[in-house]
Amino acid sequence: MEALKKIAGVTAAQYVKDGMIVGLGTGSTAYYFVEEIGRRIKEEGLNVIGVTTSSVTTAQAESLGIPLKSVDDIDTIDVTVDGADEVDSEFNGIKGGGGALLMEKIVATPTKDYIWVVDESKMVDTLGAFKLPVEVVQYGAERLFRDFLAKGYNPSFREKDGVRFITDMKNFIIDLDLGKIDNPVAFGNELKAMTGVVEHGLFNGMVNKVIVAGKDGVRILEA
């Protein structure tokens, strides 16, 4: 599996050209993309500016000598490469398994060429088997939890080391165990309208290219 992830990440790095502003994703597959950008800077003299999607990726990029800017200091991003937890045939996806969904979506929004790198196990017919992360402000989080419970969304607060997980933006994550999401767009709109919800892990109609690594090699799917 790690070999497949590396192939996908390295393949995605081929879309990065000199002079670009590049969104650097978070997660186990995007890790290899960031590593490859670092290698190209060191060995090929690639000249790019990175915009990161999490504190973890920031630390990785800095260790590799990738020059960085804040998303607030740029107008557009040429290409962003990130992972995904599930991707359906309509190119809707679930992200946020690593807890960085808010920053990932902020970086994805001004991106011209948004690419996901996944292994073939992430491709699904219908979203929802992977728990849907919802990032919520800490104040009133218990009330939101009870609302999700009443709606039958099977919520659980994400924890790490026995305590509630806190995102880079100092919010909680409530994971919804839905099983199946029949209409990701409508459900995303419903969640976003709830007071206290900062962002959800449905990335609907945002990605234009998915690089899928599998036992038979790499496939590049385009929207």
Give me the helices (H) in the chain, please.
2-13, 30-44, 55-63, 101-108, 141-150, 184-192
The answer to whether residue 62 is catalytic is no
Catalytic residue among 35, 36, 86, 104: 104
Q: Which two tokens stand for residue 40?
A: 């190209």
Please report how the helices 2-13 and 30-44 are oriented relative to each other, as an axis angle in degrees rounded to 10: 50
- CA atoms of 83 and 100, how far apart (whole Å): 11
CB 172 within 8 A of CB 165: yes
User: How many alpha carbons lie under 13 Å from residue 143 in its C-beta half-sphere?
Assistant: 8
- Buried/exposed 163-197: b ≥16 CB within 10 Å, e otherwise: eeeebbeebbbbbbebeebeebeebbeebeeeebb
Look at residues 124, 20, 143, 25 and name the one whose alpha carbon lies nearest to residue 76.
20
Residues involved in catalysis: 104
